[in-house]
Structure 1
Amino acid sequence: MTVTGACAVEKIDLIIDTDPGADDVVALLFALASPQELNVRALTTVAGNVPLDKTSRNARLAREWAGREDVPVYAGASKPMLRTPIYAADVHGQEGLSGVPVYEPSQGLAQGHAIDYLIDTLKAARPKSITIAILGPQTNLALALTREPGIVQGIKEVVIMGGAHFNGGNITPVAEFNLFADPQAAEVVLNSGVRLIYLSLDVTHKILTSDERLKRIAALNSNASKLVVDILNDYIKADMESYGIAGGPVHDAAVIAYLLRPQMFSGREVNLVIDSREGPTFGQTIVDWYDRLKAPKNAFWVESADAQGFFDLLTERLARLK
């Protein structure tokens, strides 16, 4: 039986952990344009799509473009827990953002390290009060949990863009990039016992751009809408060519849509195992979708979504930005 998420009713205290990246920037604009529902306490950055200095700059650019310099940006882990770093410049460009001019934002990073920020904030939080959205490798939260396992007390849930099951991988036949970049970190988070919601390639590849959807965003005729259209027009080329599809996914923005409108998504509680063994299945998310093993359920795996509803909501929120 498929379970559909319940409608959110109260403002979400949110930390966004991110490795911008084109789709991350769209996700950040989406989130920062939604202050009535999302209290974005901070952005924490990690190496992933590009190295840490560039992901940290791109997060600050997104903040600037959203007119939300009130939100601090903390730089975090510059490499995975154990494996050799990998990047995705072939998809996102050498700067992590192609299709738009990249420059040094006017406001700098917050003082202190992202991992310290996570530990201090979660230790001081009310029990199960803070949601963490992870849009890249899970290194920052994993390192924080390794140092201070007790911080789980402050976490309501962790909503992750990552993994693949039915869709297959996008960096190996079975692995999605964020999990392949640091599967050991993903294992630490999985084993922490926090509530996990995974938005994998299974669902993001069902939420595709189209000429009409991008035209509606362009018609907003704002700086933010122009940036998003220019970013996406360049970014989606790789997936359209690789998969032979007519549009492209906006992976990380699906996490923000889920937080805002969980009723637009459906999935089920599953047992999830992450393969961190060296070999052809390194980074694979093994999902017991049909409950063959009768093992304890440790994640909610999102499998489908209302694609038009997603783009309607994204367009509505981008209309709030200049």
Structure 2
Amino acid sequence: MSTKIIMDCDPGTDDAFSIAMAVASDELDIFGVTTTYGNVGLDHTTNNTLRILDWLGSNIPVYQGIDRALLGTLVDASEYHGATGLEAPEIGQPTSTPREKDAVSFLIDTLRSSSSKVTIVASGPLTNLAVMLRLAPDVVSKIERIVFMGGSTDYGNDSPAAEFNMLCDPHAAQIVFDADVPKTMFGLNVTHQVIATPQRVQAMRDLGNDAGRVFADMSVFFEKVYRERYDFDGSALHDPCTVAWLLRPDLFETRKMRVDVETNSGLSFGRTVHDIWNIAEKGCHTDVALSADADGFFELLTNLLSKLR
């Protein structure tokens, strides 16, 4: 039986990998894709989502979401992803358009009307989900799990303390962490183990199809900052860990713990704080990924890319 999912994302190079993997899989039933600001502004992230799905030949509906954080200033990552967020000219421009309904309304209506629980896969700032939870707390009973990329058990990437998605809207993230629903978190501590090395990129190219070539090129475009800042041997594929876990949870080690987000300190604003031993006795609703089988991840990724055009 397939897993019913809604994807909430801000494409972005690694989001493109997530979408492609989900579309290629026979095990995931995608109700829709909702967009949020993040890597670049909302207009670009929505356009990029449409570009990816059109190029893949998918008619999955797209719903445009919220364009800014609940509080604070707008942060983006265009210096890493390029001005448009997806420097992949072969994909071209979309022919489809987003649906008239906004993302939050789609999330609420879909969850309320679904005959079974739905998993939400989030790979950007969590603003859409936070607003959904505030406007319609009853939908919690219809959420199977929220699987998301964000935070870290140790360090940041957009500030010394905070990971980018959390820094974009830590107040929204705290609302999601407080929700009484199972969650699985993929932070930098584990996604920085999943590196698209030259050998792994070549394996994509060796598939001989358009998807292998285009996604290999995306990996190379994305890798500059990882080589310069972190001395990694390629780009880190953060967001696809969420989809990979849904398909192959055995590829990751997780540990259940309480997670909160720092929303007051200027020094640590956006940092995720992990209560490993439940010292605060708030309850542990988050399975935090700690390690990844990177070879297994790239074997799964390459196999899925082979099923595409």
- TM-score calculated relative to the size of structure 2: 0.97
1:93-108 correspondence to structure 2 within 5 Å: 93-101=82-90, 103-108=92-97
**134, 144, 148: which one pairs with 1:160?**
148
Larger deviation, residues 236-245 vs 260-269 = 236-245
The answer to whether the 8 A contact 1:183-1:274 is kept is yes
**269, 272, 293: which one pairs with 1:285?**
272
Runs of 4+ off more than 6 Å: none
One-letter amino acid of the structure 2 residue matched with residue 234 of structure 1 = F
What do residues 209-268 of structure 1 show as CA deviations (whole Å, max 9, x unaligned)?
A: 111111110011222111101111010211221111212211001111001001111111
**107, 132, 138: which one pairs with 1:144?**
132
CA distance in 2, matches of 1:258, 1:240: 26
One-letter amino acid of the structure 2 residue matched with residue 14 of structure 1 = I
CA distance in 2, matches of 1:307, 1:103: 30
Larger deviation, residues 238-247 vs 170-179 = 238-247
**94, 102, 105: which one pairs with 1:116?**
105
After TM superposition, give the deviation of residue 98 of structure 1 in Å.
2.2
Q: Which runs of 5+ in 1 are unaligned?
A: 1-9
The answer to whether the 8 A contact 1:100-1:230 is kept is no
In structure 1, the residue matched to 2:227 is: 240
**What SS does structure 2 have at the residue aligned with 1:31?**
helix
**115, 120, 123: which one pairs with 1:126?**
115
Larger deviation, residues 131-140 vs 96-105 = 96-105
The answer to whether the 8 A contact 1:26-1:253 is kept is yes
In structure 2, the residue matched to 1:6 is: none
In structure 1, the residue matched to 2:65 is: 76
The answer to whether the 8 A contact 1:123-1:154 is kept is yes
CA distance in 2, matches of 1:56, 1:150: 28
CA distance in 1, matches of 2:104, 2:56: 25
**24, 33, 37: which one pairs with 2:15?**
24
What do residues 173-199 of structure 1 show as CA deviations (whole Å, max 9, x unaligned)?
A: 110000000011111111121111101
One-letter amino acid of the structure 2 residue matched with residue 17 of structure 1 = D
CA distance in 2, matches of 1:72, 1:291: 40
The answer as to 2:74 corresponding to 1:85 is yes
After TM superposition, give the deviation of residue 292 of structure 1 in Å.
4.7
The answer to whether the 8 A contact 2:7-2:122 is kept is yes
The answer as to 2:297 corresponding to 1:307 is no
- TM-score calculated relative to the size of structure 1: 0.93
**34, 39, 51: which one pairs with 1:44?**
34
Q: Which runs of 5+ in 2 are unaligned?
A: none
Report % sequence identity.
35
CA distance in 2, matches of 1:247, 1:48: 22
What do residues 280-320 of structure 1 show as CA deviations (whole Å, max 9, x unaligned)?
A: 10000001235455552121100101100000000000000
CA distance in 1, matches of 2:282, 2:146: 21
CA distance in 2, matches of 1:232, 1:247: 8
The answer as to 2:211 corresponding to 1:212 is no
CA distance in 2, matches of 1:131, 1:291: 25
Cα RMSD for the two superposed structures: 1.3
1:193-208 correspondence to structure 2 within 5 Å: 193-208=180-195
- Which protein, 1 or 2, shows the higher relative CO under an 8 Å CA cutoff with sep ≥ 6? 1
In structure 1, the residue matched to 2:257 is: 270
